[in-house]
Structure 1
Amino acid sequence: MTIVYAWRAGFDSGALDALHAVGFGHAPGGIDWLSRVEKHSLGWVCAHRRDTLVGFVNVAWDGGTHAFLLDTVVAPDVRGQGVGTRLVQAAADGARAAGCGWLHVDYEPHLTAFYQEACGFAPTAAGLVALEKGRDKHATDR
């Protein structure tokens, strides 16, 4: 299985919407992902197997030295094969090349081994405020 990783690669918004829904356990939302990331992100990394999107990570930033990983997702049929780790490595490379000095990520406790051991993130203290009623402290952007 050959998977190609590409920084700021083109992708089909419907394919990412479906992958995001499967990865985060919600119904597809009809989001125009390509327009969203082109408008708001430093970059993103797509993982394609042939013409199929099998992984994605968004790299937001503050316009300066801090970049942030969002929406890291891997298709169920390729999980456990290093796809997520390679997505994060490519995102770090893209952020570094853009002049960023820091790459941040927030994650739920069950992802600690992935982000800290597989990807090399150091644990830090962080805070979170739910801005919408009904969101709990572990809610994700759905």
Structure 2
Amino acid sequence: MIEYRTRFPVDDAQLSMLHALAFEYQVEVQPWSERLERHALTWIGAFSNDQLVGFVQVCWDGGAHAFVLDTAVHPSYGRQGIGKELVRIAADESKAAGCEWLHVDYEPHLTDFYVKACGFSPTEAALLKLR
């Protein structure tokens, strides 16, 4: 059974490990808790027996626009609807905060997830690499 927790106390090492597994890169502990408290409207974790198996955060402009970031599900828990539920809760939380729009940028291989499964409308966007 998966339990979803909003604005849960973040363990930086645990979230860094999940992120590294989900995005297939070396684990480097990041200051997640500090960043989230400072910049996020909300964040949601999916837990199985108190193990973090999914995560998403929502940042915002303080007004009408919120942004989905870092949607991650542990590879062993993929294809069970966890990511979709995380995004659904993120949308509910954003709406409750008064946001009118929820944005997400994603790579082409995630189109089915965000557009078909989560209901986002595809839009054109641009990206500028700063470093």
Question: 8 Å contact 1:11–1:46 — kept in the other structure?
Answer: no
Moved over 4 A (4+): none
Unaligned runs of 5+ in 2: none
Q: Please, what TM-score do these two structures have when normalized by structure 1?
A: 0.90
Q: Deviations over 1:107-137 (max 9, x none)?
A: 00000000000000000111111111xxxxx
* Counterpart in the other structure of 1:40: 39
Is 2:116 the counterpart of 1:117? yes
| Counterpart in the other structure of 1:136 | none
TM-score, with structure 2 as normaliser: 0.97
Matched residues, number: 131
CA contact (8 A) 1:46 1:53 kept: yes
Q: Distance in 2 between matches of 1:103 and 1:37?
A: 18
In the alignment, structure 1 segments of 5+ residues that lack a partner are 133-142
Report whether the alignment pairs 1:23 with 2:22. Answer: yes
* Structure 2 counterpart SS, 1:117: helix
Deviation string 1:22-80 (CA, Å, 9 cap, x unpaired) is 11121122212111101111111111111100000010101111000000000011100
Aligned positions of 1:1-142 closer than 5 A: 2-132=1-131
State the superposition RMSD in angstroms: 0.8
Classify the secondary structure of the residue corresponding to 1:126.
coil
Distance 2:29 2:79 in 1: 28
